Amino acid sequence: LMLSIIGLGSLIGSLIFAGLPKGKRGTSLIVALFISGIAIFLISIFNYFFLIILMMFFVGIGDAGRRSLNNALLMEEAQPEFRGRVNGIYTMNFGLMPLGTIPIAAIASSFGIAFALSVSSLVLIVFSIICYLFAGRIRRL
């Protein structure tokens, strides 16, 4: 059920973010990152199944926005002769994701899953705020 709700959120998020005009996609990327962070943080503090399910929907929206906009903006901004290399590096990101689970798993093992989710979500939230405040070039994409 939870994965289905994430999938529904991803579908709706993809439809929302796919049609954005130029000039709004960079800010939308940052907003999608922020939405993911807030939703994951709320999952870490909620104890009610239906509220967690609702937040999973927003995780799906934020994740779809981040993934689709990130890839689209990378390909759009890369010079044509470098697009293959840029796509290769972007794809390598997915292969390296398991390395990111090592510190989160260590935190979860030592302090609990809710704490690990809180830490990772706060990193997303802080990073999105920093990007919004200091990465004007990204906001203008």
CATH number at residue 44: 1.20.1250.20
CB contact at 8 A, 115 and 6: no
- Please report the sign of the dihedral spanned by the C-alpha atoms of residue 95, residue 97, residue 101, residue 103: positive
How many domains would you assign to the chain? 1
Query: Which residues constitute the domain of residue 134?
Result: 2-139
pTM: 0.86
Q: What is the pLDDT along the chain (141 residues), one digit of tens a residue?
A: 788 999 999 999 988 888 887 778 888 999 999 999 999 999 999 989 999 999 999 999 999 988 888 888 888 888 989 888 888 888 888 888 889 889 999 999 999 999 999 999 999 999 999 999 998 888 887
The pLDDT assigned to 66 comes to 87
- Name the residue among 16, 13, 108 with its Cα closest to residue 56: 13
Q: What is the pLDDT of residue 3?
A: 87
> Locate tokens 């030592």: which residue?
110
pLDDT at 9: 94
pLDDT at 61: 93
Distance CA 83, CA 86 (A): 5
